[in-house]
């Protein structure tokens, strides 16, 4: 695997960020006062967050608190009603289509339900981003796709259709696709949901390896406290669109807020 941010041959990389400063390292991801509303419901409420490059931020919170919406803002699938989303110093709202595509190529995204393309095989799903965005030869693309599937324990699923996979297998195939371009930033929505504890542990190991070996920036939405403990440099607890608590696992477990403590206790017990 290439170091994160080293794009495979043929992939365009974004030009130098507009707000790069010599003193402070530019956060891989920064949200500044992001607010998002769906009708009368405020899902993200003046959210501010900065994630340094090469670190892992685990986003926790009860269902419906805007965790997946947060990830979709980071990759530009949703636009905030107020505030800014910056990826490697570039404000997504100021990018044209081509620039946004170049920025998205720096990111991998695992959707909550995997979102595999169900009209093509699992192997084709993983090969898809490479076919679209690299100059790799066909045999090389297929080799890499097999390797990515092997890394998530799905080497035998290359020729299967997504519809024939279990939920956990779909999730892993989705992760393999997200890893296809060796992205510098990986956004992962509940990677261990639906997986048995052993497989969940293997996925955690894989993600941890990306962070330590390839300096990949990770944003992981999870309810699994052992995963968060293992992966997270920082944990962020979202509630009603706001950051209710942040810090490491111990800090959240010792939080002044009863909801955070209760969540950590119950999720820790089930996780």
Partner 1 sequence: MTDAAPHRVARGLSLVGDFAIFCGRAALDLVRPPYEGRETFRQVVELGWRSVPLIGTSGLAVGIVLSLHTRATLERFGAEALVAPGLGVALVRETGPLIAALLLAGRMGAGIAAEVAAMKVTEQVDALEATAVDSFRFLVATRVLAAVIALPLLTTLMNFGGIVGGWLAELALTGTPLTTYLERAFSLVDFTLYISSVLKTAVFGFLIAATGAFQGLTTTGGTEGVGRAATRSVVMASVLVIAVNVVLVRLIFVLFPELQ
Binding site for partner 1 (CB under 8 A): 72, 75-77, 97, 101-102, 104-105, 107, 109, 111-113, 115-119, 128-129, 132-133, 177
Q: Closer CB to partner 1, residue 15 or residue 23?
A: 15
In the bound complex, what is the minimum distance in angstroms from residue 32's beta carbon to partner 1? 22
CA dist 55 → 32, 137, 175, 271 (Å): 19, 33, 18, 22
Q: From the CB of 104, what's the least distance to partner 1, in Å?
A: 4
- Is 51:221 a contact under the CB 8 Å cutoff? no
**Residue 101 beta carbon to partner 1: minimum distance, rounded to whole angstroms:** 4
C-alpha–C-alpha distance, residues 76 and 74, integer Å: 6
- Min separation Cβ 232 and partner 1, Å: 23
Any bridge partners for residue 31, and if so which?
A: 49, 85
Question: Minimal CA–CA distance to 62: which of 254, 231, 223?
Answer: 223
Minimum CB distance to partner 1 smaller for 42 or for 112: 112
Nearer to partner 1, 49 or 105 (CB): 105
- For the bound state, the minimum distance from the C-beta of residue 123 to partner 1, rounded and expressed in Å, comes to 15
Residue closer to partner 1, measured from CB, 154 or 225: 154
Strand arrangement, sheet containing 234-239: 107-110, 185-189, 217-221, 56-61, 234-239, 242-247
In the complex, the smallest distance separating the C-beta of residue 259 from partner 1, rounded to whole angstroms, is 29
The full length of the chain comes to: 271
In whole angstroms, give the CA distance from residue 35 to residue 18. Answer: 23
Compare residues 116 and 157 and give the one whose CB is closer to partner 1. Answer: 116
Give min distance, CB of 132 to partner 1, in A: 6
Contact 58, 232 (CB under 8 A): yes
Which residues fall within 8 angstroms of residue 91, CB to CB, at 6 or more apart? Answer: 18, 84, 85
The residue among 74 and 203 lying less far from partner 1, judged by its C-beta, is 74
Nearer to partner 1, 32 or 128 (CB): 128
Distances (CA, A) of 150 to 130, 137, 199, 269: 17, 20, 13, 31
3-state DSSP helix/strand/coil percent for the chain, to nearest 5? 40, 25, 40
């Amino acid at each position: 695997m290439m170091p994160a941010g080293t794009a495979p041959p043929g992939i365009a990389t974004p030009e130098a960020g507009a707000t790069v400063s010599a003193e402070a390292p530019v956060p891989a991801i920064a949200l500044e006062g992001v607010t998002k509303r769906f009708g009368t419901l405020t899902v993200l409420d003046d959210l501010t967050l900065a994630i340094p490059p090469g670190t892992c931020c685990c986003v926790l919170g009860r269902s419906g608190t805007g965790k997946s919406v947060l990830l979709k803002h980071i990759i530009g699938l949703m636009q905030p009603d107020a505030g800014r989303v910056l990826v490697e110093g570039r404000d997504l709202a100021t990018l044209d289509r081509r620039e946004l595509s170049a920025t998205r190529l720096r990111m991998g995204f695992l959707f909550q339900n995997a979102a595999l393309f169900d009209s093509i095989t699992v192997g084709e799903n993983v090969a898809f981003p490479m076919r679209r965005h690299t100059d790799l030869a066909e045999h090389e693309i297929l080799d890499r796709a097999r390797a990515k599937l092997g890394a998530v324990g799905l080497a035998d699923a290359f020729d299967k259709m997504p519809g024939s996979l279990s939920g956990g297998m779909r999730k892993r195939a989705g992760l393999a696709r997200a890893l296809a371009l060796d992205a510098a930033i990986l956004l992962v929505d509940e990677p261990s949901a639906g997986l048995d504890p052993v497989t969940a542990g293997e996925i955690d190991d894989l993600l941890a390896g990306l962070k330590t070996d390839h300096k990949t920036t990770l944003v992981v939405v999870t309810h699994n406290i052992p995963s968060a403990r293992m992966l997270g440099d920082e944990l962020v607890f979202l509630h009603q669109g706001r950051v209710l608590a942040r810090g490491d696992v111990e800090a959240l477990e010792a939080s002044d807020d009863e909801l955070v403590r209760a969540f950590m206790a119950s999720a820790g017990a089930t996780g």
